[in-house]
Chain A
Amino acid sequence: MTFQRGHEPTAEKPLPLAFDTTNPEDSKPWMVVEPLGSGPFVPLRELWQGRDILYFLVLRELKTRYAYSVLGYGWTILGPLFTALVLAVTLGQTFRIAEGQVHYGVYCFAALVPWTYFSGAVTDATRSLLNNPQLVLRAYLPRAYLPLTPILSRLVDLAASSAVLLLFLAWYGVSSWSSVLVLPLLVLIMIVTALGWGLWLSMLAVDHRDVAYGVSFLLQLLLFATPVLFPLSSLPKGLLPILALNPMVGVVTGFCSTLKGSDSLLLQPLILGGFTSMILFLTGMWFFYRREPDIADLL
């Protein structure tokens, strides 16, 4: 009888290594990884096939963002509501709006709904690569998911605050139903814009951490280039084509135009803004995937 000491003899026999390596069909690799500097390449197929990862990344962020807070997702509504209240009290007298028009605070809230989403999404997306070194260094995943995750997960916040906006609309009245129906398109433009910024800034933040600190100033600057604190009609008409290059101008005026008694929806900022958001997104994708092979070495 043979008594084998220790563990199960897993490696008792070395593998026979007599494979037929001469048959070229046999040795066709599933994937070949070329060295660095072989050009930018956006792995569209991988981005689609790995969508389960994206789903669970978004889920992770949603489940953990307001963990251990009493109000939880109540904060998503309280944020814009509170800011609108502060603005109404402090600036309400300065930006007195003509008779028959909607109250300044309500106007601000309608503008803050998309703006809060946008600024939150861009801030989070910018830090997404820096804040998840574990995912970048220890796992292989389509890395564009990292800036995309906060942009998608913040849509839940946007939905919650939009629900409150609908309550305001029900109370104050809707200007026209077509302007409400166009909201999903505005959200789409906003997602593409935020993703464009996110792709650019998250990658730049890996190279220069300054970008992660500077993004709040960039957003403050953008805030004043967007009609959040004041209606677009209070600006000179000649400035409009330049301002409209900022996609958020069209989006924010679109959100505000749903309120009865505010400016009507303008087509020009939407078209121009949609155009720049596409450019921002495509160049962002190009830049992100040009630098992507390097980031594991830089983080």
Chain B
Amino acid sequence: MSPFAVRLRSVSKMYPCAAPDRGQASLDRYVWSRARSLARRILGSPDDLPVVQAPPDMNAPRWVLNDVNLDVHRGETLGLVGPNGAGKTTLLRIISRITRQTAGRVELFGRVGSFLDIGTGFHDDLSGRDNIYLCGTLLGTKKREIDSKLDEIIAFAGVGPFVHLPLRSFSSGMRLRLGFSVAAHLVTEILVMDEALGVGDLEFQDRCFRKIGELTRSGMTALLVSHDMAAIQQYCHRVVWLQDGRVEQVGDARSVIKSYIASQIGRSGVAKWHDAVTAPGDHLVLLRAVRIVDEKGNTVCSVCPRDKVSLQMDVDVLAQGIPLHPVCEVSGTGWRLRIQDDEDSFRRKGPASPGRYRFCQDLDLECFPPGWVHIGVGICSGPEGFFHFWERRVVSLLIENAEPEPSCRRESWRVSASA
């Protein structure tokens, strides 16, 4: 048996033209432009009808993938990360044989089942059961195989009582469950999955990733595209970072994700306003910068739970005698924590004089679950007062899973006889 599942040999994909209508001449557009020039000549006002032309580079060919070489090993879970437009979906489409590469060679060592959408081929007027069959055959499975796994699929999706109703009565979460369940039970060799689990609830997302883990241990190969870095890091053996159609980095999940996030730091680890006009705030207080720094004062974006980091907020005070009470809000998927002064310290603090102030708050990262956390900041005038500004999610921080796996050692188990 081959050690590979997919091999890409300098695969490139070119889209000839990005402009609408693919640059085709259209009769009505021709007539319209003629009528316009005629109108201009008769009315004699050349300036009132602006001619909108696509920028010339819109019609230039675009290389969405450029010389991609990649070996995917059998039985591994490979994560694909990269910013929007990096070519992730195009790569998955090429591997799924939906579109073909312009150059290069793709070797597949098994049947590819693609889950690029919530339930491919689903139709609103068909019952859940009919949709399972349709979606299942589109994944390349025979009807017999679906027959034998039908009960399992329905049970995993948790749509038992509704399976005979038309799909239009399903919620979008139920559709996703059904679609994923079909893919997870019927794809046996290579599963290709685009960011699709976002609609599912947390419990289901977790169940999906565990199911994928289970399948890969039994020899299936999974290719996942996701922007959920914590999940990718937790469940993928290796990660490929695509950037502008090229493979920027391949390697173990931890290091690739770390450098990927580092490349995005400008967008997430720090926020600055150089211009007083755009800076958030009112005529009394202006927010100028927010950043997360480590002990040495360097801006960070990806940390371990044991690292010591603090939040810095630079504020301009423009008038005399303003009480300043900083508030920050740390939020993640499904939770939110507000950090603010208690009432005593409100009373202790006096009003500030004009100038630039820096507020620091140490963040105790072990309070937060791993994953992305977003931090919002504000300055308010008092416990019941108004906010000078309140900016949600100005900076973001990835809290990685600690390595090695966190463990908690205890003295001993207590043992007692049980009836």
Contact = CB atoms under 8 A, between A and B. Distances in A.
Q: Which A-B residue pairs are the 9 nearest by beta carbons?
A: A19-B3, A10-B213, A29-B107, A296-B99, A33-B106, A64-B125, A138-B117, A139-B120, A67-B125
Interface in B184-235: 206, 209-210, 213, 234-235
Contact of A140 (B22, B112, B238, B406): B112
B329 to A, nearest CB: 24
Interface string A114-142: 00000000000000000000111111110
B370 interface: yes
B15 to A, nearest CB: 6
Given A27-B4, A60-B130, 17 more contacts: A2-B405, A3-B407, A10-B77, A11-B235, A11-B253, A14-B238, A15-B73, A27-B3, A32-B108, A33-B108, A34-B105, A35-B102, A35-B103, A53-B137, A135-B138, A140-B112, A294-B100
A293 B2 CA distance: 28
Interface stretch (B42-50, B90-98, B269-277): B90-98
Contacts of B103: 35
28 contacts: A2-B408, A3-B408, A4-B405, A8-B213, A10-B210, A10-B235, A11-B236, A15-B76, A19-B3, A31-B107, A32-B107, A33-B105, A35-B101, A35-B102, A35-B104, A36-B100, A53-B138, A56-B130, A56-B134, A59-B130, A59-B134, A67-B125, A134-B117, A138-B117, A139-B121, A141-B138, A296-B99, A298-B22
Contacts of A17: 73
A9 B235 CA distance: 8
A32 B106 contact: yes
A99 interface: no
Contacts of B236: 11
Nearest to B210: A8
Contacts of B304: none
A35 B114 CA distance: 20
A237 interface: no
B410 interface: yes
Contacts of B367: none
A137 B78 CA distance: 22
B187 to A, nearest CB: 12
B413 interface: yes
A296 to B, nearest CB: 4
Nearest to A1: B410
Nearest to A38: B100
Interface residues on A, range: 35 or more
Contact of A11 (B102, B130, B213, B409): B213
A6 B3 contact: no
Interface string A38-69: 00000000000010110111011001100110
B86 interface: no
- Interface SS majority for chain B: loop
Nearest to B146: A52
A46 B175 CA distance: 29
A293 B24 CA distance: 20
Nearest to B370: A6
B126 interface: yes
A137 B108 contact: no
A4 B404 CA distance: 11
Contacts of B138: 53, 135, 139-141
B413 A1 contact: yes
A26 B1 CA distance: 6
Nearest to A293: B100
B337 to A, nearest CB: 19
- Interface SS majority for chain A: loop
Contact of B123 (A53, A64, A208, A296): A64
Contacts of B107: 29, 31-33
Contacts of A63: 125-126, 130
B407 A4 contact: yes
A57 B120 contact: no
Contacts of B4: 19, 27, 29
B206 A26 contact: no
Contact of B101 (A4, A33, A53): A33
Interface string B366-387: 0001100000000000000000
A135 B159 CA distance: 24
B210 A138 contact: no
A56 B133 contact: yes
B87 interface: no
Interface string B351-373: 00000000000000000011000
Chain A CB within 10 Å — which of B4, B94, B138, B369 has the most?
B138
Contacts of A56: 130, 133-134, 137, 143
A138 B116 contact: yes
B126 A60 contact: yes
B410 to A, nearest CB: 6
Nearest to A137: B98
Contacts of A140: 96-98, 112, 114, 138, 140
Nearest to A297: B99
A93 interface: no
B280 to A, nearest CB: 35
Contact of A30 (B99, B110, B209): B110
A33 B210 CA distance: 31
Contacts of A11: 77, 213, 234-237, 253
B319 to A, nearest CB: 48
Given A9-B405, A27-B4, A60-B134, A52 B143 contact: yes
B313 to A, nearest CB: 31
B110 A6 contact: no
Interface string A13-26: 01101011100001
A89 B35 CA distance: 47
Contact of B114 (A20, A27, A31, A138): A138
Contacts of B258: none
B100 A29 contact: no
Interface in A90-130: none
A67 B1 CA distance: 48
Interface string B4-33: 100100000001000000101000000000
A55 to B, nearest CB: 7
A283 B107 CA distance: 30
Contacts of A50: 137, 140
B215 to A, nearest CB: 11
Contacts of B170: none
B120 A19 contact: no
B413 A135 contact: no
Contacts of B75: 15
